[in-house]
Amino acid sequence: MIIIDILEYVDRLETLASAGWRIPLTDKIGVEESALFDILDEMRVAIPQEMKQAQDLIQQKEQVLAEATAEAERIVEEARQRAARLVDEHELMAAARAEAEALKAQAQREAESVRAGANDYALGMLSDLESRLSSLLRTTSNGLATLKRRQAQADSREPKPGS
């Protein structure tokens, strides 16, 4: 599974800003509009893809849990059938019950183990995605704050009409 690195887009935006030209006597820079909008369009596509990947992880976890449950039920049913056959033989009846219970316990342990592994995997992947998205949000917020501050500084330095 390929996870698109949102930070690559942030790096590209920074590179675009660095390659821009300074507007004399201001804190402003000019950048190529089409390049900026191309990167923003790619980001609009990439972020929903990462969200879909997170949803896919959740679906995979649910599928693994369903398969583990079905396998456990199959093993339990197999144990029941085997026990039923052994009931006909009086001497083996106790052994059949014990074996059925052991198989059931083993199936339940295996199902729990698979569930725990699937939960750990999904938790790790979702935590990683959350971390990446949080980092992107912080970077975006910091960038917006910097741009607003620069804009305010530039606006305060521009002469007022009629002055």
CA–CA separation, 83 and 90 (whole Å): 12
- Residue given tokens 């144990």 in the structure block: 79
What are the helix (H) ranges across the chain?
Answer: 6-19, 33-87, 93-157
Give the pLDDT of residue 87: 64
pTM: 0.37
- Residue 22, beta-bridge partner list: 29
Provide the residue-wise pLDDT of the chain in tens; the chain has 163 residues.
344 577 888 889 999 999 999 989 999 999 999 999 998 988 888 777 777 787 888 899 899 889 989 988 999 999 888 877 776 676 667 778 888 899 999 999 999 999 999 899 889 989 988 999 999 999 999 999 999 999 999 888 877 666 5
Structural domain boundaries in the chain: 54-132
Give the pLDDT of residue 1: 38
Give the pLDDT of residue 51: 76
Give the pLDDT of residue 162: 63
Phi, psi of 30 (to 5 degrees): -110, 140
Look at residues 143, 137, 135 and name the one whose alpha carbon lies nearest to residue 18: 143
Q: Are 97 and 40 in contact (CB under 8 A)?
A: no
